[in-house]
Amino acid sequence: MTTPFTLFIETYIKLFFLLTPFFVLSAFLSMTREMDLRARRALALRVMLAVAVAGCVLSLAGNAIFNLFGITLDAFRVGAGALLFLSAVSLVRGTRAEQTPESEGDISVVPLAIPITIGPATVGALLVMGAQLEAPLERAVELGAFVAASISVGVMLLAATAIERLVGRMGLTILSKLTGLILAALSAQIVFTGIRGLLGR
C-alpha cells in the first residue's frame, strides 16, 4: 500500500521534471541578462507564485473540463501523453524555442510561467494527474507536491547565476536533454495507461 509520504515523493519527482526546470533556468537567464540581482530575484519569486497558482488550478479543474467537453480520462491520457512526448523530443533535440517577451513589462506570468514553465504538454499532464486522484488525501498530497516542485523551481531561479557559474551553459543544455528523456518515459507511461483503459472498455 502506498503511503502518503511515498505518494508525495513520487508525485514531486514527476512534477519537478514535468516543469522542465533546466530549460526554464536557461530561458530565465537569457531573458534577465540586463537585470540587476535584486530585480532578478523579485522576478523569480513572482514566477514561482504564478506557476504554483496556475498548476494547482489546473490540477483541480481536470474532472470539470472532461465532463464539460464529454472527454474520457483515458482518451485525454493518450492525447496528453502524445503532446508530452513531442515536448520531450524537442528538449532532447534542443529545438524547443526560448520565447522572448513581446514588451518590456512584467514577464513573470507571460512568458516565463506560461508557456515556458507550464506549456501545453504540461497542462495536459497536470489535468490527467489531477483527474485520476479521487480521494481527498491523495488530491491534497498532489497539490502539496506541486507547490513543493514550484518552490524548487523558484529556488533554482533565485540561484540562477550561481548554478550557471557552476555547471555552465553546456551543462544546462545537457541537463535539459536528460529532462527530455525522463519526460519521454513519463509520456510513454501515460499513453500506455490510456490505451489500456480504452481497450479495457
| Domain definitions of the chain by residue range | 4-200
Mean pLDDT of 167-171: 92
Are 113 and 57 in contact, with CB atoms under 8 Å apart?
A: no
pLDDT at residue 11 in the model: 94
| Whether this model's pTM surpasses 0.95 | no
Chain segment 112-156, per-residue pLDDT in tens:
999 999 998 899 999 998 888 878 899 999 999 999 999 999 999
Is 14 in contact with 142 (CB distance < 8 Å)?
Answer: no
- Percent of all residues in the chain with a pLDDT value above 70, rounded to a whole number: 95
**Residue 99 pLDDT > 70:** no
Per residue in 79-97, pLDDT (tens digit) is: 999 999 999 999 999 877 6
Q: Report which secondary-structure segment, H or E, holds 152.
A: helix 136-158
Crossing angle for the helix pair 73-93 and 120-131, to the nearest 10 degrees? 140
Q: State the pLDDT confidence band at 201, using cuts at 50, 70 and 90.
A: low
Cβ-Cβ contacts under 8 Å for 181 (sequence gap 6 or more): 88, 92
Query: For the chain, what's the residue count?
Result: 201
pLDDT higher than 70, residue 183: yes
Q: Helices 160-200 and 120-131: crossing angle, nearest 10°? A: 60
The amino acid that residue 41 corresponds to is R
Q: Which pLDDT band holds residue 56 (cuts at 50, 70, 90)?
A: very high
Q: Does residue 102 carry a pLDDT above 70?
A: no
